[in-house]
Amino acid sequence: MEYRIEHDSMGEVKVPADKLWAAQTQRSHENFEIGVGIETMPREIIHAFGILKKAAAQANSELRPEKMTAAKLDAISKACDEVISGELNDNFPLVVWQTGSGTQSNMNANEVIANRGNQIAGEKILHPNDDVNQSQSSNDTFPTAMHIAAVLMLEDKLIPAANTLIETFVRLEKENEGIVKSGRTHLQDATPITFSQEISGWRSSLERDVELIKLALAPLHELALGGTAVGTGLNAPKKFGEVVAEKVSQLTGKAFVTASNKFHALTSKDELVFAHGAIKALACDMMKIANDVRWLASGPRDGLGEIFIPENEPGSSIMPGKVNPTQCEAVTMVAVQVMGNDVAVSMAASQGNFELNVFMPVCIYNFLQSARLLAEAILSFNKNCAVGITANKEKMHHNLHNSLMLVTALNPYIGYENAAKTAKKAFKDNISLKEACVELGFLTAEKFDEVFHPEQMV
């Protein structure tokens, strides 16, 4: 491998000749060999850095035109566009497990943008710190990147994924209207419910989760940029935070604003904790829905068997013909990961000491993983399972009329205790509710038929 010599305030460093990063990135690359190639800084953060560095250059051009010249702005902007598009992803090798402020990743962005910008300009006009990092500090850029990445992930990926599944449930509700089945509570038989009502519960849960995520999004639109090192805004021009937030909004199409209190923005991650709580709520509901689906589809002969789901792949290497609810299992595993990530996000957010939180990389790594995995799992579940759900009407009818909890319909006529005696006798003697009720002398056969209508109990 060929190398070139780069230098920083600590001296010279050998850097791979074909890479755009420089000395500080290389030092981090060598000093933190933890999860290399696996747990690298999320691409969403790199994308966000491209946005914020371009926005910062534009703001500096307006507020400090003598320092951010037209030539420098053009070079930075074009390099940032390549970062945003992902063209330069191979130049961002750093892992999550680095300094807790994300300083090395900020410098990674500064060095790559400066070197690529110089290539574009055809001359060395950009310095990573003096130009690309102008009016900024790692301490305000990394939390800004976190919020930009979080907003884009939730608004552009997770919410649309949830809405896709909601639309499927809306269709299934309409298609299954009027199909009455046995309800279940405590995994035991309960009074009847329509299948469309059951699906409406799934749909409404997801709709509420989307509402909660949207509520959590508002605080994430506040950006720390402009606070620089400790929140005072040292070395940044007046109104830099406001102008750069406007620029970020223009670049993303999202309504970002500058944080009202930069001391809070640098040290507290409460907005991410709150938003991840909403993500976790969605994961909890997806766990419930996926479990409902696999229970209802259990069988094919020895389970509930009340619905059919698509058969996507063989389910066993030893049992021929076995097919498993694999999409449900994938969703539930992702839900478990999200719940675990919530602990990591919460613990990381609790480590805001004095003027800075120093657990930011692990916080955003887990946050973005949760949102990304959940969005992809929901889309997979929708495509490969939910859209193909159909009711086994015959089995639903059989289970409904075999349910002892239909005896609840008799409460107004024979009372709770006599209804309980009827159910217990029917179960003990393996006879119908009608036979038990008549044998016990609570109702005549004719009166039983007059008042007992399971399909009207919904």
Active site residues: 186, 316
354: left (phi over 0), alpha (psi -120 to 50) or beta: left
Rg (CA), the chain: 30
Q: Which residues contact 77 (CB under 8 A, 6 or more apart)?
A: 54, 57, 58
Distance of CA 290 to the CA centre of its chain: 16
Q: Which residues contact 3 (CB under 8 A, 6 or more apart)?
A: 14, 15, 16, 17
Degrees, nearest 5: CA angle 358-236-367: 30
Distance CA 177, CA 171 (A): 10
Beta strands in 222-359 (DSSP E): 222-223, 257-258, 307-308, 352-353, 356-357
Residue located via tokens 């009455």:
180
Angle between helix axes 138-153 and 360-384 (nearest 10 degrees) is 10
Among residues 326, 349, 448, 447, the alpha carbon closest in space to that of 143 is found at 349
Enumerate the H helices of 385-458 as residue ranges.
393-401, 411-414, 416-429, 433-439, 445-451
Distance of CA 158 to the CA centre of its chain: 5
C-alpha to C-alpha distances, 254 to 77, 163, 245, 333, 360, nearest whole angstrom? 19, 19, 10, 32, 23
Number of Cα atoms under 13 Å in the Cβ half of residue 302: 1
Residue located via tokens 């059951």:
198
